[in-house]
């Protein structure tokens, strides 16, 4: 019943060739080139394309809606002012790197603990279509998924910042190890190590409580179907 989210682990392509490339990707490249020449509408078109994942990363890193909005706005302001330094390739990893660094600045400046923010300010959830679940999802499955998501968000907020970012980029945003390495400014091996530790902690956290363990098992059974 749960539709498996397909993840195509595409290899990184710093310089996608024009021949045979995705039209949308080509359109993105044209927008970037226009933005580099100072065309604001082209840049805003890029903003519309990438603001959701950027905001999602900022929100999950900061766990505060106001802070996430400020960080996202700062990210795009920074991107606009430094777009001349963009040397081509995929635009989103470059944006996400700016966003991640901005989040780290906020975290360091405020010394915030995401767990506290999560309890204090629950965030609004997107409509069902954005979570890639099918409209004919069984109510019980939907309830399992929602309950498991709540525990998972809490466990995610308790991770160290670097491990949390690795999980967000890999398992939530679907970036490849190489892209994550570029975003985080680390080696691929370091990314794998952080991801492995993060997943182990999440797994251990969910297995610690019988209720959560059962939720995970039920979700797994439905996920395999």
d(CA 219, CA 148): 8
- Measured CA distances, 15 to 32, 90, 103, 129 (Å): 13, 8, 28, 32
* First-to-final CA distance of the chain: 7
Chain centroid offset of residue 195 CA: 14
Smallest distance, Å, CB 126 to another protein? 4
Nearer residue to another protein within complex by CB, 16 or 65 = 65
147 exposure class (CB count in 10 Å sphere: 0-12, 13-18, 19+)? middle
Is 29 or 191 the residue whose CB approaches another protein more closely? 191
Rounded CA-CA distance 211/149 in Å is: 13
In the complex, least distance from residue 42 CB atom to another protein, rounded to whole angstroms: 11
Nearest approach in angstroms of CB 79 to another protein is 9
Report, in Å, the least distance between residue 180 CB and another protein. Answer: 10
């Amino acid at each position: 019943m749960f539709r498996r989210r397909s993840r195509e682990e595409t290899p990184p392509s710093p310089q996608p060739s024009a021949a045979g490339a995705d039209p949308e990707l080509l359109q993105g490249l044209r927008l970037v080139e226009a933005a580099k020449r100072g065309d604001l509408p082209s840049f805003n078109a890029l903003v519309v394309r990438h603001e959701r994942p950027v905001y999602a990363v900022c929100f999950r890193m900061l766990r505060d809606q106001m802070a996430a909005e400020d960080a996202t706005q700062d990210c795009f302001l920074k991107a606009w002012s430094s777009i001349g330094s963009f040397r081509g390739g995929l635009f989103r990893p470059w944006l996400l790197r700016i966003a991640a660094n901005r989040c780290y600045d906020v975290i360091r400046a405020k010394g915030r603990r995401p767990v506290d923010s999560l309890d204090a300010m629950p965030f609004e959830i997107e409509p069902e279509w954005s979570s890639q679940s099918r409209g004919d999802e069984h109510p019980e499955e939907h309830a399992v998924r929602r309950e498991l998501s709540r525990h998972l968000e809490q466990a995610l907020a308790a991770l160290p910042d670097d491990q949390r970012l690795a999980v967000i980029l890999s398992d939530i945003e679907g970036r490849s190890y190489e892209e994550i390495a570029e975003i985080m400014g680390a080696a691929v091996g370091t990314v794998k190590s952080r991801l492995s530790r993060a997943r182990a902690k999440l797994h251990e956290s969910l297995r610690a409580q019988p209720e959560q363990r059962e939720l995970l098992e039920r979700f797994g059974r439905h996920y395999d179907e």
